[in-house]
Chain A
Amino acid sequence: MASSRPLSRLLSRSLSRSLVGGLASGFSFSDTDAATYAAAIEGDGVALSDDQKQAIDTFYVTGKSGGWYSSLARVYLPVWQQASANSRCLVSGTQGTFNGSIGHNAGYISNPSYSGYFDTGSTSVGKGLSLGAQGYGFLQVDISGSLGTPMGGYDDFNSFDNGNVVKQRVGGRMRFYYGEYSGSSFAQSGAQSSGTQRIFASIESGGDIYLDDRTSSGFNNIAYSSGVVADEPSSYANDYLMAVNAYFGYDNADEYWGGEMGAAFFHTSTDSGFNSDFTLALKNLWEGCTGLSL
């Protein structure tokens, strides 16, 4: 009996270590902001795999080491198949509000009835964007079957048509406006066919608009408009996703977009290299969290 005690203790310790090790073998985040975001969406009921946690952690770590994280004003990743997690911004800790009928799908949100939208809860100025230091874009999983506005808001009440808006036009062309919406202050993509996936990233610097994209084949400069922006973004119209906020002294959703969106973002960078670095990280984040490929 006496000789069996050490063995039983050894087995007991081994079993305890095994159990503790098993419980403690979960993913360990390198970045505290990544851990905070992951904990928030897990609190919403999203069951994150270690691969998804790694994708989230890598996004934050890459952004901070690359120097572009601090330029992010809002980043939304609506891939989690539910409204609460999809409403969370990855960088500000804020949540927007989904209005009406929006499809919360695996990897993207959709708007099949052309009647829902997402209110980011703040204007572009409120997010920190300003003339000469601003940009926005989104991850397109598919274009809309009809014309519409993937994201933006403009003020038609206090100042004439002032705001940042991207509008899907004939042929699936995406026109990114800055400042005076409906004027000539835009840069526009070429035609797109149904099923086209890409990240659109625009940036305004010194009155110039650079429009870039990232696809499965890499990063591309697709449009440039020189010296066309002279107006500040709107300080009245909250930015919407899946529609435009046409502000008439009150918020007013209009031009609903029926496409599919996997991410959206606003930034304050003045660095011409921002779009390339950020879109690569966003692509990796979206692919790592969804298991899909851009």
Chain B
Amino acid sequence: MIGFVTTPETAAVVLDAIRDAQLSRGHAHFWTTGSKPIYSGDHAGKTLIPAGDDILDTPLRQGQTPRDFPEFTQLVETLGGLESRVDIHAKYLANTNAPNL
């Protein structure tokens, strides 16, 4: 999965900013990138903010995508720009402590 690797604290700030960008425009919090804990591998303990092109091109409303929001562009820059995204294999995102029901 393609995205930004960051700390859990920074990820929380980013997700709050994405939410606030919608609420400040009078909308509900209807979309987010979400975030995923990285459980194993070189980045274990960090958090992945998914940011593949499919996510960045999500149709939100009124023909806009996340790329059309200045706040989102600013967040991407804060995380190092699109070129700093990495591809994390799904196996590193699997919570092996979760019960297998």
Contacts and interface: CB of A to CB of B under 8 A. Distances in A.
Contact of A156 (B1, B62, B99): B99
A276 interface: no
Contacts, number: 78
A164 to B, nearest CB: 14
B31 A246 contact: no
B75 to A, nearest CB: 15
Interface of A: prevailing SS: loop
A181 B101 contact: yes
Interface residues on A, range: 20 to 34
A2 to B, nearest CB: 54
Interface residues of B, number: 24
B9 interface: no
Interface of B: prevailing SS: loop
Name the residue in B32, B50, B52, B60 with the highest tally of chain A Cβ atoms < 10 Å from its Cβ.
B60
A113 B95 CA distance: 18
A100 B50 contact: yes
A87 interface: yes
Contact of B60 (A82, A252, A254): A82
Contacts of A104: 58-59
B28 interface: yes
A115 interface: yes
B61 A254 contact: no
A84 B61 contact: yes
Name the residue in B30, B63, B99 with the highest tally of chain A Cβ atoms < 10 Å from its Cβ.
B30
A163 B56 CA distance: 33
Nearest to B52: A101
A97 B32 CA distance: 7
A84 B61 CA distance: 6
B83 interface: no
A182 B29 CA distance: 32
Given A44-B61, A44-B62, A248 B32 contact: no
A11 B33 CA distance: 58
A99 interface: yes
Interface string B22-51: 000001111111100000000000000010
Contacts of A100: 32-34, 50, 55
29 contacts: A44-B61, A44-B62, A82-B59, A82-B60, A83-B31, A83-B60, A83-B61, A84-B28, A84-B60, A84-B61, A87-B28, A87-B31, A94-B28, A95-B28, A96-B30, A97-B30, A97-B32, A98-B31, A98-B32, A100-B55, A101-B58, A104-B59, A113-B1, A115-B90, A156-B99, A161-B99, A181-B101, A182-B101, A254-B98
